Amino acid sequence: MSDRYTKERKVGEGTYAVVYLGKQISSGKDVAIKEIKTGGFKDGLDMSAIREVKYLQELSHENVIELIDVFSDSGKNLNLVLEFLPSDLEAIINDKSIMIVPADIKSWMLMTLRGVHHCHRNGILHRDLKPSNLLISPTGQLKLADFGLARALGSPNEKFTSNVVTRWYRAPELLFGSHHYSGAIDVWAVGVIFAELMLRTPYLPGKDDADQVVVTFQALGTPTEAIWPGVSHLPNYNNLVMYPPPSRQELRNRFAAATESALDLLCGMLTLDPNKRWDTDKCLTHKYFVEQPRPTEPLKLPKKEKKGDK
Amino acid sequence: MVELDWNNVPKDMCPVCKTDKYLSPEIQFKINPECYHKICDACVDRIFSLGPSPCPYPNCGKILRKNKFKTQVFDDLEVEKECDIRRRVLNIYNKKEADFPLTDDYNSYQEEIEDIVYKLLHKIDVEKTEEQLKEYSIANKQSIRMNNARSDQEYEKFIRLQKLEKQYKSQRNRLNRQIIHEQANLKNLEKMKTIDELQQPSEEKNSEAVIKSVKESMKNRSNKYKKQLVELENKYLKQREIIIKNQQINSKKKKEVKIPFTPFNGDRMIPMPYRLEPNRYKDPYMEKMVDDVQFMAGGYKLDLYYERSLNEAFTGLNCYIEEEKAN
């Protein structure tokens, strides 16, 4: 089966997969080949590989990574052929030599939200949104990647694990250990990414799970029954220090470069109560995206090649 | 030998090595903001090169470091001290008027700064004031850094403007010099012409024609330079405008985008083969289950699950794999 693709060189290795740069022989197109370590199927196939295949094949969108093909080579390993995307948002945020202007942030937010919107309208939660999972194509298009933690909205008698999403981007209902959540957790993560883009530094960098609670509520106020009905019944809601919610002026000071509507959108995405948190529809139709400056065209966005790729 | 009065050191003498400005005019004095005692450059090098040492003035005893020594700017030490303190405080209290919604707020902020400077300068409640300063700097770490970055940017802008102006001026001077040069040439030529006329009245016509053409070309050239000068000035003004507006020098004028903005990239409503009618579908079992504080507080929505289930059920209908493969 692998005669349709060539593997050229290794570009990365994760816990359950090795990623190679390759070429589709028929078209000469660059592809990324994710070889899943199966260990001879001793313990079965890794869950995240199944999730990745299952949900990526459902999704086809400009801002979601494309799963081109799946094959197994010599009967041993499972290979996912994905679109090759040379850069990611984290590399851009961390490269201090790159200047990010508000129009660039708007463009990236727009593409992220479009991608998330597409997942959500198909009933899929990404559950691991963070800058390093937002890959950037050579033409500047931002694409959601790494669907290893994704899942479909389940029936009420299914219990979702709350141990998802990289810690810094974890929504408060996850911090409280909720087992029944919705796409609002992805919106929260996008909000934190939005803040990170403006600050050029992680917005809520908790050192461990307990610290994450403290950092999050220090920045955004501790939720109470009044602003989030039912919150005190969530499993991990106990022993909380009550921090006051930030005033508008405090937020303005923190995000000095943000316009008023940018702050509105940020507050909408970082609303503590998931029922009141904006959904992707509301975010995308917000006036932040309409007002000046217009979002930068993807081709003109700042770029960075990942180390080792030339 | 007269004992040196340490409390009243002569103006032009280093009290440590007793070097005098009269005998060694190259002497330079340094002070340290710890105690503001004057020491000559050579002594600073000698005493503090090996690391922090106490101040050589008797009854001072402050431990000084070499890298903190600086040249005195103001004659009056009090002014020097105040400037140092002010600089330090303003590095922390670095908000601008535009950061405040009300002028009154800004004024009281200024008042606070003046209070702190005054107290530190006159050694009133030093510990308390230092504490206040420290607390403020911790509480406003983020905004202080941001404001500093902002003033750095402004400084950079200023430097860029200065550089541009310098460049412009040197180019303008060059063109001006060329114009003057051409004009001098023109004058010379005229002189030559008169001499020629006097010398060779017979060939008058011929030489005049030659000279006229040369003159013409010179005039053209100087006109050209003048034009360049005007162009240069316009270019300079434009670039200056751009820097002031904080744009990249090379950025071209933004074209007005004609395409209207579409938040969903024209991809919002796919007509679904099904429709979820509100309040038409009731599942008492699930509704009872969802009517629970755990579901409510976590943001779970039953409708979304219905939608997903319908989507799952209908995905693939109207899809002809063979046809798609053929494409």
Structural tokens at position B16 = 């440590």
Q: Which among B67, B3, B61, B4 has a CA at the least distance from the CA of B37?
A: B61
pLDDT of residue A48: 82
Domain-located, residue B267: no
Mutate to test the interface with B, among A62, A182, A185, A282 (most CBs of B within 10 A): A182
Q: Do A182 and B286 touch (CB under 8 A)?
A: no
B122 and B84 belong to one structural domain: yes
State how far the alpha carbon of A27 is from the alpha carbons of A4, A5, A23, A31, A85, in Å.
Answer: 10, 10, 8, 10, 17
Q: How far is CA A239 from CA A178, A227, B44, in A?
A: 17, 18, 58
- Mean pLDDT, to the nearest integer, of B189-213? 71
Amino acid symbol at A62: E
> If we measure between CA atoms, which residue out of B1, B73, B85, B71 comes closest to residue B32?
B71
A177 interface with B at CB cutoff 8 Å: no
Q: Which of B244, B270, B299 is the last residue of a domain?
A: B244
B146 at A interface, C-beta within 8 A? yes
CB B117 within 8 A of CB B86: yes
From first CA to last CA, the distance across chain B in angstroms is: 109
Name residue, tokens 């510990």. Answer: B127
Regarding whether B206 and B183 lie in a shared domain, the answer is yes
Whether A292 contacts chain B with CB within 8 A: no
On average, the pLDDT of chain A sits at 87
Mean per-residue pLDDT for A40-53?
A: 76
> For the purposes of burial, counting CB atoms within 10 Å of the CB of B250, is it exposed (0-12), middle (13-18) or buried (19 or more)?
exposed
Within a domain: B216: yes
Are the beta carbons of A289 and B261 separated by less than 8 Å?
yes
- Tokens standing for residue A151: 């899942």
Check whether residue B187 and residue B233 sit in a common domain. yes
Does residue B27 form part of some domain?
Answer: yes
Which amino acid belongs to residue B153?
Q
- A255-303: pLDDT as tens digits: 887 888 999 999 999 999 999 999 998 999 898 988 878 888 888 888 8
Q: What is the tens place of the pLDDT at every residue in B88-122? A: 888 888 888 888 888 888 898 899 889 888 988 88
Which residues of A are catalytic, by number?
Answer: 128
Six token digits for residue B72: 């005195």
CA distance A18 to B242: 48
Write the DSSP symbol of residue A181.
Answer: B
Q: What's the CA gap between B92 and A198, in Å, rounded?
A: 22
Using a CB-CB distance cutoff of 8 angstroms, which residues of chain A are in contact with residue B267? 61, 114, 118
User: Sheet containing A77-83: which strands, arranged edge to edge?
Assistant: A5-13, A17-24, A30-36, A77-83, A67-73
How far apart are alpha carbons B60 and A262 in whole angstroms?
A: 56
Residue B161 CB partners (closer than 8 Å, separation 6+): B240, B243, B244
A236 near A177, Cβ under 8 Å? Answer: yes
The sign of the CA dihedral B200, B205, B208, B210 is negative
Question: Do B67 and B91 have their domain in common?
Answer: no
Calpha distance A91→A301 (Å, rounded): 14
Q: Is residue B1 part of a domain?
A: no
* CATH code, domain with B32: 3.30.40.10
Stated as kind and residue range, the H or E segment containing A35 is strand A30-36
| B296·A157 Cβ contact <8 A | no
Mean pLDDT, rounded, for B38-55:
88
Q: What is the pLDDT of residue B205?
A: 60
pLDDT average, residue stretch B47-61: 86
Mean pLDDT of B263-279: 72
pLDDT digits (tens, 9 = 90+) for B153-178: 888 888 888 898 898 888 888 888 88
Q: Measured between beta carbons, which residues in chain B are less than 8 angstroms from residue A178?
A: 294, 297-299
Q: Is A228 on the interface with B (CB under 8 A)?
A: yes
Q: What is the mean pLDDT of residues A49-58?
A: 87
pLDDT for position B250: 41
In a domain, B36, yes or no: yes
Shortest distance between the Cα of B305 and any Cα of chain A, in A, equals: 6
Predicted confidence band of residue A135 (pLDDT cuts 50, 70, 90) = very high
Decide if B259 touches A, using CB distance below 8 A: no
Residue A307 has pLDDT above 60, yes or no: no
**Listed residues B26, B46, B72: the one ending a domain:** B72
**Domain identity same for B53 and B97:** no
Residue A35 vs residues A81, A125, A151: alpha-carbon distances, Å = 9, 24, 21
Task: Tell whether B300 lies on the interface with A, counting CB pairs under 8 A.
Answer: yes
Do A135 and A298 touch, CB atoms closer than 8 A? Answer: no
For A178, counting Cβ atoms within 10 Å of its Cβ (0-12 exposed, 13-18 middle, 19+ buried), the class is: buried
| Mean local confidence (pLDDT), A106-130 | 92
Tokens coding B232: 């240069």
A160 and A180 Cβ atoms separated by less than 8 Å: yes
Per-residue burial over A24-48, b if 16 or more Cβ lie within 10 Å, else e, is beeeeeebbbbbbebeeeeeeebeb
Confidence category of residue B252, pLDDT binned at 50, 70, 90: very low
Which residues in chain A have their CB less than 8 angstroms from residue B299's CB?
173, 178, 181-182, 184-185, 273-275, 277
- Inter-chain contact A155–B304, Cβ cutoff 8 Å? no
Q: Percent of chain A beyond pLDDT 90?
A: 31
Q: How many residues does chain B have?
A: 327
| Domains of chain B: total | 3
Chain A residue numbers with beta carbons less than 8 Å from the beta carbon of B264 are: 114, 117, 284
Please tell me which residue of chain A has the smallest CA distance to B142. A254
> Do B23 and B57 lie in a common domain?
yes
Quick: pLDDT tens for B69-88.
888 888 888 888 889 889 88
The answer to whether residues B13 and B67 belong to one domain is yes
Domains of chain A: 2-83 (3.30.200.20), 87-300 (1.10.510.10)
Known binding site for ATP: residues of A? 11-19, 34
Per-residue pLDDT tens digits for A179-232: 889 999 999 999 999 999 998 889 999 888 889 999 999 999 999 888 998 888
B295–A289 CB contact, under 8 Å: no
Give the pLDDT mean for B220-231.
81
How would you classify the pairing of strands B53-54 and A134-136? Answer: unpaired
Please report the number of interchain residue pairs, chain A to chain B, with beta-carbon separation below 8 angstroms.
Answer: 101
Residue B30 burial (C-beta neighbours within 10 Å; 0-12, 13-18, 19+): buried
Residue B51 has pLDDT above 70, yes or no: yes
Residue in A208, A174, A206, A198 with CA at minimum distance from that of residue A188: A174
Q: Could you tell me where the DSSP H helices lie in chain A?
A: 47-56, 89-94, 102-121, 172-175, 184-199, 209-220, 248-254, 260-269, 280-284
User: Model ipTM?
Assistant: 0.80
Of the candidates A58, A122, A253, the beta carbon closest to that of B143 is on A253
**Does the residue B65 lie in any domain?**
yes
- Residues B66, B84, single domain; the answer is no
In a domain, B279, yes or no: no
Contacts of B101 in chain A (CB under 8 A): 249
pLDDT for res B249: 41
Same domain, B51 and B120: no
Both B164 and B221 in one domain: the answer is yes
Q: Does residue A10 have a pLDDT over 90?
A: no
Cα–Cα distance between A147 and A126 in angstroms, integer?
6
C-alpha span between A144 and A240 (Å, rounded):
34
Residues A178/A179/A182/A183 CA torsion (nearest 10 deg): 80
Q: Is residue B218 part of a domain?
A: yes
Q: Which domain holds residue B104?
A: 80-139
* CA R_g for chain B: 40
Q: Give the per-residue pLDDT at B246.
A: 61
DSSP-assigned beta bridge partners for residue A23 = A6, A30
Distance CA B10, CA B26 (A): 17
B150 vs A: CB within 8 A: yes
Q: What is the Cα–Cα distance from B220 to B214, expressed in whole angstroms?
A: 10
What band does B203 get if pLDDT is binned at 50, 70 and 90?
A: low
With CA atoms as reference, report the closest residue to A121 among A80, A64, A188, A180.
A64
Domain end marker among B228, B244, B260: B244
CB B15, CB B38: distance < 8 Å: yes
Verify that B34 and B51 share a domain, yes or no.
yes
The answer to whether A157 contacts chain B (CB < 8 Å) is yes
